């Protein structure tokens, strides 16, 4: 289908984002990959397909380009793309057996916790939540049945920065054949590469920054181990949670501007975080780029920049937070994140409503907290909008 581009291993991120996975179509010279809207493929002889193409649940050329591109950006060997981030995590959890144990961050995305709590728990998969910024607490969470460590960094919505290299090193010393998986959705491969830091698996909700335009639902897993890739591929093919060719094409298109968009997200977020930090109606600003963030030094070491996500605890109570949210004009009150437009939401009532109130309170998701996905609009307009809503 395409002419392989030259080896991009030593190329910069922007070059890989634009060229990795596909050079041009050798039939027509098209510089973008075709969208293969086909469900099935002709075979050269009974049971002898052309390459791996026998049915589009099993393989699709457009999806192959996307998977190769994401693997290249994460410095991984194998990429698998799914119909959503939850579908990717669901497939990973299907590698486990009854009585297996998972360690997860204490403030993971509500959908992640829901999958473990409401779906896999009934199949005998157990889990422990812990604060992975606390090494002792993390180590105490191991059991003889632990098979998977799942962490988000920056975490959602408290933006904790977890030391991937340290967690991976501790895990190797356990000698239990436990996999370390990192949800890299908030950081994207532009800001950090968990596989380079010792992780075994990288997960993305490609719905977010990788898609970047709030028009696609998708997910991905990237790994280096061939046997693990083959196991995940078998489960993906068996259960069928694959993205459409058109969604794959749109993600390929979006990836080409990921580095440019992330630069703007990070720049705008830093300006807004600094502005809100000195505002009388803001009690606390959580942003890894501020030196007040408890893991600021680690963020500087582990990440290339600090991302586009900010969490803010307002003065007053939930009523004050709701009033503020309803007054905004440019920021859109909506779940999700990572689009070019600025989104804002209330974790306790929206993205993390599935988490029990006592657990939210315990870990610091306050009723007056709002989470901001800073877009790439003009930063002055964004700050003016926040200012008028806070008044």
How would you list the strands of the sheet with 332-333, edge to edge? 282-286, 309-314, 369-373, 343-345, 332-333
Strands 369-373 and 309-314: antiparallel
Give the integer Cα–Cα distance in Å for 98 and 154: 30
Give the integer Cα–Cα distance in Å for 11 and 13: 7
Average pLDDT, the chain: 95
> What average pLDDT score do residues 318-346 get?
97
Cβ atoms of 211 and 251 within 8 Å: the answer is yes
> What average pLDDT score do residues 87-111 get?
96
Four-CA torsion 306, 310, 313, 317, nearest 10 degrees: -170
Cβ atoms of 92 and 199 within 8 Å: the answer is no
Burial of 277: CB neighbours in 10 Å, binned 0-12, 13-18, 19+: middle
- Most distant CA pair in the chain, distance: 73
Query: What pLDDT is attached to residue 25?
Result: 86
Q: At how many degrees (to 10) do helices 379-390 and 258-277 cross?
A: 40
Could you say which DSSP state residue 26 is in?
T
Of 351, 383, 334, whose CA–CA distance to 155 is shortest? 351
Cβ atoms of 390 and 368 within 8 Å: the answer is no
Percent of the chain with pLDDT over 90: 91
Which are the contacts of 280, defined by CB distance < 8 A and separation ≥ 6? 315
Give the integer Cα–Cα distance in Å for 150 and 271: 31
pLDDT tens for each residue of 291-317: 999 999 999 999 999 999 999 999 999
pLDDT tens for each residue of 215-263: 999 999 999 999 999 999 999 999 999 999 999 999 999 999 999 999 9
**pLDDT confidence bin for 333, thresholds 50/70/90:** very high
Give the integer Cα–Cα distance in Å for 201 and 365: 27
**pLDDT confidence bin for 354, thresholds 50/70/90:** confident
Does residue 108 register a pLDDT over 80? yes
Domains 2-255 and 259-390 agree in fold: no
Give the integer Cα–Cα distance in Å for 384 and 65: 42
Burial of 42: CB neighbours in 10 Å, binned 0-12, 13-18, 19+: exposed
State the DSSP H helix or E strand holding residue 78, giving kind and residue range, or none if neither.
strand 78-82
Query: What pLDDT is attached to residue 127?
Result: 98
Does residue 4 register a pLDDT over 70? no
Which are the contacts of 122, defined by CB distance < 8 A and separation ≥ 6? none
Which are the contacts of 159, defined by CB distance < 8 A and separation ≥ 6? 186, 286, 287, 288, 293, 309, 310, 311
> What average pLDDT score do residues 159-175 get?
96
Give the integer Cα–Cα distance in Å for 365 and 311: 10
Does residue 323 register a pLDDT over 90? yes
Catalytic sites, residue numbers: 57, 109, 183, 208
> What average pLDDT score do residues 365-381 get?
97
Burial of 290: CB neighbours in 10 Å, binned 0-12, 13-18, 19+: middle
State the DSSP H helix or E strand holding residue 110, giving kind and residue range, or none if neither.
helix 110-114
Give the integer Cα–Cα distance in Å for 88 and 71: 15
**Spacing of C-alpha 134 from chain mean position:** 22
The β-bridge partners of 333 are: 344
Does residue 3 register a pLDDT over 70? no
Query: What pLDDT is attached to residue 2?
Result: 45
Fold of 2-255: 3.40.640
pLDDT tens for each residue of 123-143: 999 999 999 999 999 999 999
pLDDT tens for each residue of 61-75: 999 999 999 999 999
Query: What pLDDT is attached to residue 110?
Result: 85
Each domain of the chain, given as residue ranges in start order, spans: 2-255, 259-390
Give the integer Cα–Cα distance in Å for 132 and 369: 22
Provide CATH code, domain 259-390.
3.90.1150.10
Query: What pLDDT is attached to residue 351?
Result: 86
């Amino acid at each position: 289908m395409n002419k392989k581009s030259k080896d991009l291993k030593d190329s910069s991120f922007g070059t890989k984002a634009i060229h990795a996975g596909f050079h041009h179509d050798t039939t027509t010279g098209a510089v973008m990959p075709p969208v293969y809207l086909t469900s099935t493929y002709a075979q050269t002889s009974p049971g002898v397909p052309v390459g791996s193409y026998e049915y589009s649940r099993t393989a699709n050329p457009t999806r192959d380009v996307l998977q190769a591109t994401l693997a290249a950006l994460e410095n991984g060997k194998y990429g698998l793309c799914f119909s959503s981030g939850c579908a990717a995590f669901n497939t990973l959890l299907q590698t486990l057996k009854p009585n297996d144990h998972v360690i997860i961050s204490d403030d993971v995305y509500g959908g992640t916790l829901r999958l473990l709590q409401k779906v896999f728990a009934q199949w005998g998969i157990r889990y422990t939540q812990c604060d992975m910024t606390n090494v002792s607490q993390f180590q105490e969470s191991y059991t003889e049945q632990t098979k998977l460590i799942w962490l988000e960094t920056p975490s959602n919505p408290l933006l904790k920065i977890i030391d991937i290299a340290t967690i991976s090193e501790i895990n190797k010393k356990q000698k239990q054949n436990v996999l370390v998986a990192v949800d890299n959705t908030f950081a994207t491969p532009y800001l950090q590469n968990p596989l380079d830091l010792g992780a075994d698996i990288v997960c993305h909700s490609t719905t977010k920054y990788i898609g970047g335009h709030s028009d696609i639902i998708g997910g991905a897993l990237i790994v280096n181990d061939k046997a693990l890739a083959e196991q995940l591929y078998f489960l993906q093919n068996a259960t069928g949670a694959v993205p459409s060719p058109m969604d794959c094409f749109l993600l390929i298109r979006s990836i080409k501007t990921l580095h440019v968009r992330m630069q703007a997200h990070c720049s705008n977020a830093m300006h807004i975080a600094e502005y809100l930090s000195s505002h009388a109606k803001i009690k606390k600003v959580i942003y890894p780029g501020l030196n007040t963030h408890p893991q600021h030094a680690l963020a500087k070491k582990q990440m290339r920049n600090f991302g586009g996500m900010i969490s803010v605890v307002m003065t007053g109570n939930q009523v004050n937070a709701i009033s503020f949210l309803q007054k905004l004009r440019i920021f859109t009150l909506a779940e999700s994140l990572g689009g070019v437009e600025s989104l804002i939401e209330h974790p306790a009532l929206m993205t993390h409503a599935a988490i029990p109130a006592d657990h939210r309170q315990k870990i610091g998701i306050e009723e007056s907290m709002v989470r901001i996905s800073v877009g790439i609009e003009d930063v002055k307009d964004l700050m003016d909008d926040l200012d008028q809503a806070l008044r």
